């Protein structure tokens, strides 16, 4: 199917976390229109079964396709681990399907700076072992250790950020002996960049904290350029959809996208 440069970019996540990716895309590709879907009604994905995540991901991808998107970017590590292949197969050549894990693992595996790499993510992402597998497929010499940090997503979605509660939880997870002596830490959940500076502070700014949103945005730009699909829309207006309206989503979306934005609540799962 022929894709056109003036079609929008579809991005989805279980909630507000994918806004970190959407924001990086918005900065790197300011001429692209973004249509964002946050599945706040089913958050957190990290606790759901693979089958449930595949089901939600297909429904959301169909919705983004109906919105005429040329790209469907899965801005959620848990959904990338559980449903990337399924969504890609389902969408076929009707849109370009990208995930957040492939660009991040390629970046880390090919960079000599990183030797002992820590990965933190949701239960679903860590249980899938996708990061460790993909990094060692590219570079078997890397030492990868991983840890599920399931409280971080609800903590962030509840607005516990940069306070004593979030400090205590972050401290508890990052002090885990599994993560001892790492030289780098991948934030394998798109919610975590929101607390990136707190995490960097835990390590006294000495460990590389890898926020993959910029790597993902660069990959998107490369793919669009290769396929001659880069847009040149002067002032695109983005659209935001959520399956359950939350004030936190609005606050965060406004924080990332500066101006007043339109958020619509929509149940696409009926």
Q: Identify residues 64-123 at the interface with ligand DGL (CB under 6 A).
A: 76-78, 121-122
- The yes or no reply on residue 191 touching ligand DGL (CB under 6 A) is yes
Contact 166, 160 (CB under 8 A): yes
Contact 47, 22 (CB under 8 A): no
Q: Which of 43, 71, 119, 253 binds ligand DGL (CB under 6 A)?
A: 43
Q: Give the span between the Cα atoms of 108 and 115, in whole angstroms.
A: 9
- The yes or no reply on residue 156 touching ligand DGL (CB under 6 A) is no
Contact 116, 160 (CB under 8 A): no
Q: Minimum CB separation from ligand DGL for residue 145, in Å?
A: 18
Q: Which of 125, 207, 243, 246 binds ligand DGL (CB under 6 A)?
A: 125
Q: Say whether 69 is catalytic.
A: no
- The yes or no reply on residue 153 touching ligand DGL (CB under 6 A) is yes
- The yes or no reply on residue 13 touching ligand DGL (CB under 6 A) is yes
Write the DSSP string, 179-199: GTT-SEEEE-STTGGGGHHHH
Count interface residues toward ligand DGL (CB under 6 A).
18
Residues in the chain: 270
Q: Give the span between the Cα atoms of 163 and 154, in whole angstroms.
A: 15
Footprint on this chain of ligand DGL (rule: CB under 6 A)? 13-15, 17, 43-46, 76-78, 121-122, 125, 153, 189-191
Enumerate the active-site residues.
76, 189
């Amino acid at each position: 199917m022929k894709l056109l440069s003036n079609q929008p970019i579809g991005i989805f996540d279980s909630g507000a976390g994918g806004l970190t990716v959407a924001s990086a895309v918005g900065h790197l590709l300011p001429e692209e229109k973004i249509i964002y879907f946050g599945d706040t009604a089913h958050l957190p994905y990290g606790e759901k079964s693979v089958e449930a995540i595949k089901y939600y991901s297909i429904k959301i991808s169909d919705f983004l396709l109906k919105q005429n998107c040329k790209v469907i970017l899965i801005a959620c590590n848990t959904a990338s681990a559980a449903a990337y292949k399924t969504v890609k197969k389902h969408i076929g050549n009707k849109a370009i399907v990208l995930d957040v894990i492939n660009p991040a693992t390629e970046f880390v595996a090919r960079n000599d700076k990183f030797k002992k790499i820590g990965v933190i993510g949701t239960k679903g992402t860590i249980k899938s072992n996708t990061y460790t597998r993909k990094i060692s497929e590219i570079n078997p010499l890397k030492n990868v250790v991983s840890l599920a940090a399931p409280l971080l997503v609800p903590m962030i979605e509840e607005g516990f950020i940069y306070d004593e509660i979030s400090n205590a939880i972050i401290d508890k997870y990052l002090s885990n002996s599994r993560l001892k002596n790492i030289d780098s830490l991948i934030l394998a959940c798109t919610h975590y960049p929101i607390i990136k500076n707190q995490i960097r502070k835990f390590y006294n700014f000495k460990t590389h904290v890898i926020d993959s949103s910029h790597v993902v945005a660069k990959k998107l730009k490369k793919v669009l350029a290769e396929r001659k699909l880069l847009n040149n829309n002067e002032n695109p207006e983005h659209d935001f959809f959520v399956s359950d309206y939350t004030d936190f989503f609005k606050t965060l979306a406004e924080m990332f996208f500066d101006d007043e934005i339109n958020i619509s609540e929509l149940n696409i799962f009926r």
